[in-house]
Amino acid sequence: MTKTFHGPVHQGIVPAYLLAKLAQSERYTTAADAARQTLIAGRPPFRSRLEFSVDESGELVAEVTAAPDRTISDAQGTENLPGTVVRREDDPPVADETVNQAFDGLGATFDMLLEAFERNSLDGAGAGLNATVHYGQMYDNAFWDGARMVFGDGDGEVFRGFTGSISVIGHELGHGVIQSASGLEYQGQPGALNESLADVFGALTEQHLLGQTADQASWLVGEGIFTDAVQGRALRDMLNPGTAYDDDELGKDPQPAHMRDFVTTVEDNGGVHINSGIPNRAFALTATALGGHAWEEAGTVWYRALTGGLSTTATFTQFADATLVAARELGDNVEEAVRNGWIAVGVIEDATSRTTG
């Protein structure tokens, strides 16, 4: 089935199609106004790759440290970045809980990357972690701008503040890892893969922080950012795409769970937030089949596929092939679980079901 969504295109955690739907709401009047403002404001242009300095001899210089280097700034309701610095790495907690939540979320993501994948920050070389809170007026989104995390406060009617969700923070910082590791294009299948990988990082960050196994995890991305007025649990459900919300005003979660329902559209950068449900489910199925902590086997496979020379235009099938190569290094049981995950969502064919004649 082919579905098409129309509306402005942005790259934050909240898809533009959901904001566009909210902007037309008669029930959520405050949130509708906030959604319109958010769509108009958009986000700054995506910046270039993380940069390193070069010393006088021409050698590449990067500070490598096993501890995070966090800086939180406050935009004070404006759209001017980076804003005023309000907390640095060695500073104690401040009175503003939003600042502290952002600080802790950046640290949780750093810890997961280091302990699970031996990756020192987003670039693998100890890059500082920067974030700005209180961006814009009732800004209904959070995004990675190529150099920092940026958080809106939400409208209070549909969306709460975005610093309260660890999976949101891990997701957006995940874009920084993807930017550094492969530079996947943000369009079509590569873009949907980009979004899915960011969801994987977000989910793993939350699970790692809570010490959850794959069976214990919710597999929700953005859990808690909706207010109680909304009929929904989160922005996305990785294990069961298409079930995260079903609200009278916002509509139903449009994510497909199988390639037969792949959405062809020119909106949402070719459906990057929509079709990401397909590889999301493949990962969640793989992780739950393997059991234990998802970052130890399934996460390692996905991370090695991402960082192993992945093409910037990789399709779902090409990425699936890369995960199978990575899985073989971890054992037959891991390879089988990965293969079954991709078969279940229709990305690769089940060889046992082929007929000959």
Could you say which of 195, 273, 293, 335 is catalytic? 273
Per-residue tokens: 257: 């769970």
Judge contact between 69 and 129, C-beta under 8 A: yes
Cα–Cα distances in Å, from 258 out to 78, 81, 84, 201?
Answer: 41, 39, 45, 21
Other CB atoms closer than 10 Å to residue 329's CB: what's the count?
Answer: 11
Could you say which of 172, 185, 206, 335 is catalytic? 172
User: Which region, left, alpha or beta, applies to residue 109 given φ > 0 means left and ψ of -120 to 50 means alpha?
Assistant: alpha
| Helix, strand, coil share (%) of the chain residues, nearest 5 | 40, 10, 50
Judge contact between 164 and 286, C-beta under 8 A: no
Order of strands, sheet of 142-144, starting from the edge strand that comes earlier in the sequence: 84-88, 70-74, 129-133, 149-151, 142-144
Per-residue tokens: 187: 């369009």
Q: What is the three-class DSSP state of 190?
A: helix
Q: What is the three-class DSSP state of 55?
A: coil
Q: Is 273 a catalytic residue?
A: yes
Q: 216: burial class by Cβ within 10 Å (0-12, 13-18, 19+)?
A: exposed
Rounded to 5°, the CA angle 114-116-118 comes to 40
Cα–Cα distances in Å, from 208 out to 28, 202, 227, 295?
Answer: 35, 10, 25, 8
Which residue bears the tokens 């060695």? 90
Q: Is 172 a catalytic residue?
A: yes
Give the catalytic positions in this structure: 172, 273
